[in-house]
Amino acid sequence: MSEYKLKSIGKNSSCLHLSGQIDISHSKSIKDSLLSALKEGKSLKINLEKVEGIDLAGLQLLCAAGETAKAVKKKLTLNEKIPQCFTNALLESGFFRDKKNTSEKSDECFWLSEWVNI
């Protein structure tokens, strides 16, 4: 069961809990919840702990969220607890960046892999 809940975690910051499948079949509703989550507060944390699977469309959504956060000058981070399926998806899709090959100025979704320790 895929669910998207937004919880406030203190002043100006909130956390979006994603669970179930982050894939193309749910992409529209995920997009909507990401958009509305980014409207609130100054920083947003995305909790992927209960995610059971993610595909390329899902990864694109997270990247797009990162872009949007940058545009509206908000801080977007991932929860420290990352499920294995998410790490695998990063590796399989080539989204994962080896830090030694990446300059810090990277304006792409570097933040996706920054939180993943592989």
Partner 1 sequence: MKENYAETMKAAFCEEAHELLIELETALLELETNSTDQELIGRVFRALHTIKGSGAMFGFEKISEFTHEVETVFHQVREGALSVSKELINLTLLARDQILAMLDSPEENEETNSLKNIEIITLLKKLVASVSTETAPQTPHAAAEKADQPSPEVEQNFRIRFRPSPDIFLHGTNPILLLDELRQLGECHILAHTSSIPELKSLDPEKCYTGWDILLTTNKGIDSIKDVFIFVEDGSELNIEIIEEKEKPGIDNEPKKLGEILVERGDLAPEKLDQILEEKKPIGEILVDAGLVSTEKVESALVEQQHIKETQEKRQSIEQTASIRVASDKLDSLVDLVGEMVTVQARLSQTTSKVENAVLLAISEEVERLTAELRDTAMSIRMLPIGTTFNKFRRLIRDLSGKLGKEVILTTEGAGTELDKTVIERLNDPMIHLIRNCMDHGIEIPADRKKLGKDPTGTIHLRADHSGAYVLIEIIDDGSGLNREKILAKAVEKGLASREAELSDREIYNLLFAPGFSTAEKVTGLSGRGVGMDVVKRTIDALGGSIEINSIKDKGTTITLKIPLTLAIIEGLLVELGDDFFVIPLSSVEECVELSREDVASSHGRHLAKVRGSLLPYIHLRQIFNIGGEAPEIQQIVAVQSDGRKVGFLVDKVIGQLQTVIKSLGKAYRNIEGISGATILGDGTVALILDVLKLAKKAEIEEKASAQQ
Binding site for partner 1 (CB under 8 A): 24, 27-28, 30-31, 34-35, 38, 55-57, 59-61, 63-65, 67-68, 71, 89, 92-95, 97-98, 101-103, 105-109
Measured from the CB atom, the residue of 84 and 101 that comes closer to partner 1 is: 101
Please, what is the angle between helix 84-93 and helix 56-71, to 10°? 90
**CA dihedral over 101, 115, 66, 58, signed as positive or negative:** positive
Residue 83 beta carbon to partner 1: minimum distance, rounded to whole angstroms: 17
Residue 11 beta carbon to partner 1: minimum distance, rounded to whole angstroms: 24
- Residue 97 has phi, psi (to 5 degrees) of -115, 130
Q: Each residue of 88-102: b (16+ CB within 10 Å) or e?
A: ebbeeeebbbeeeee
Residue 94 beta carbon to partner 1: minimum distance, rounded to whole angstroms: 4
Measured from the CB atom, the residue of 17 and 95 that comes closer to partner 1 is: 95
